[in-house]
Structures are given as C-alpha cells and as structure tokens.
Amino acid sequence: MAPRLRSVTNHRTERVAVPAPAHADPAAATASVRGLSRRFGDRAVLDDLDLDIAPGEFVALIGRSGSGKSTLLRALAGLDQEVTGQVSVAGPVSVAFQEPRLVPWKRVLDNVELGLRTGDPAGAAGTALSEVGLTERASAWPATLSGGEAQRASLARALVREPRLLLLDEPFSALDALTRITMHRLVVSLWERHRPAVLLVTHDVDEALALADRVLVLGEGRIAHSSPITLPRPRERDHPDLIALRLRLLTQLGVPAGDTD
C-alpha cells in the first residue's frame, strides 16, 4: 500500500533534523514527519519537527505538559488539519486514547466490531477480544466494565483493524498501579504478535523505559533527545542501564537531580 501523504507548504528554510535510529530507512518508514509545525495563536507547539518511525518499532514520546505530545499524535492520526509540513503514513492507523471512548449503547463486541465493513466483522472482533482476555465480557455493556477491562476493549478495537501504525495516547494513566503493570504486559504481547509500529505518548518515564525500543523527549516544539533501549523485555526497573537512562531523561525534562526518586 502506498504511503498516505499529507503536505502543506511550510515557509521555513532552515531545519536541523534529529537522526533516525540506525536501522530506520526514512524511505521505508511506517511513519515519517518532515518540517511539522502547529501554532495555537502566537504559540508554536510544534516547530519544524522531523521524525521517522520504522516498521515494527515501539517508540515512546515523553515531555512536559503542554509540550505538544498529543498534538503530534493527532497529526499522525490525521485528526489535526491545521498542521503545516509533511506527514506520511504507510498503511492503516489506529488510536487508543486515555479514555476508552466506548459507545455506551453498544455491547463490548459491537464496540470492537464498530466500523468494520469487510470479511467477518463479528469473527474478527471475537478474536480480538480473545487476545485481550475479554471473551466472557463480549455481551457486557461498557458501563459494567472495570477501568482495565474498558481499556482492553479499546485496545481490541484498535488492533482488530490490523494497523500498520498504532497510536497510544496515555492509555494507562487513569489505571491503578497493578492494573497498569498488567496492561503493560498485555501491550507488549499484542505488539509482539501483530508487530505494528507504535507511538506511545506518556508522562511516565518508567513506563517508557519498560515498553519502548526508543524514547524521545519533546521540547520546544522539536525532538530534543532520542535514546534507544536494547535491553530484552521484561525489563527490571533497577537495571543499571535503565537507572542511568532514567536520570538522563529526567534531566532532559528539567527535573533537578535531587527530585528524581
């Protein structure tokens, strides 16, 4: 499938590109952004930003509140038509938001099936629910689900479309600590099974370190820092490499050394 390309004239002539990871070929990237800018009034939230996400790569994006993380995600999803620059995505895109956004008057299976038009929608939705451990809740109403169950249903709805790019906008931030750990394991297992490229927006540095192949820091409208992580999953939080990287990322976020516990 040819990449989906959106381009808007950008009159800036100088740009410093953030290098892609060594394994990423921009021409073969699942998602590629060049010169992306977005202004809200006089404020530039994104400012001539460049980014490549390789096929199957799991990328985490962190940054201070208001730094433009969700704005970048919305641009990749095609939900923001006011950006300037160029966005190219090869294949279907699915999004799971912080709120599960399940349709309250449809049962769980119908929510997952929503929008599917070809093949066997009910069968595909049932398989997706099985993958997230919700087969027994297929006929339940969304209001009866726990927070973790609702987010699993949201993931099933995103993955049933077999996206090439999966966008996760802080989907675990409202969950308790134990449920979040369970969801982390589930997301990794689903990613390993389906292998979409993933962009996870999160405020949680430890979440980024646990899940991602590469962690990006967004600052002043651009990718200010990029760190690859090659440790195998599951990862021990107290691994020396992760401790050092955690300190480096927090420093990039402007957190004083004495406040990193």
Each domain of the chain, given as residue ranges in start order, spans 57-78+92-256
Average pLDDT over all residues of the chain: 88
Nearest to 199 by CA among 235, 241, 169: 169
Q: Is the pLDDT reported for residue 11 higher than 60?
A: no
Question: What is d(CA 55, CA 51) in angstroms, rounded to the nearest whole number?
Answer: 13
CB 147 within 8 Å of CB 73: no
Q: What are the tens digits of pLDDT across the range 68-125? A: 999 999 999 999 989 999 999 998 999 999 899 999 999 999 999 998 877 899 999 9
Q: What is the pLDDT of residue 25?
A: 60
Query: What would the CATH number be for the domain defined by 57-78+92-256?
Result: 3.40.50.300
Q: What is the pLDDT of residue 27?
A: 64
pTM (2 d.p.): 0.87
HEC profile for 59-104? EEEECCCCCCHHHHHHHHHCCCCCCEEEEEECCCEEEECCCCCCCC
Biggest CA–CA distance in the chain, Å, is 56
* DSSP bridge partners of 59: 199, 214
Question: What is d(CA 108, CA 15) in angstroms, rounded to the nearest whole number?
Answer: 46
Q: Is the pLDDT reported for residue 9 higher than 60?
A: no
Nearest to 170 by CA among 221, 207, 212: 207
Which of 15-19, 200-204, 207-211 is least confident? 15-19
Give the residue-averaged pLDDT of 227-234: 94
**CA distances to 10, 46, 100, 168, 254 from 5, in Å:** 15, 19, 28, 21, 35
Joined together, the tokens standing for residue 226 give: 């990029």
Q: What are the tens digits of pLDDT across the range 148-190? A: 999 999 999 999 999 999 999 999 988 999 999 999 999 999 9
CB 246 within 8 Å of CB 206: yes
Q: What is the pLDDT of residue 174?
A: 85
User: pLDDT band at 225, cuts 50/70/90?
Assistant: very high
User: pLDDT band at 3, cuts 50/70/90?
Assistant: low
* CA angle (36, 40, 44) in 5-degree steps: 50
Question: What is d(CA 92, CA 249) in angstroms, rounded to the nearest whole number?
Answer: 31
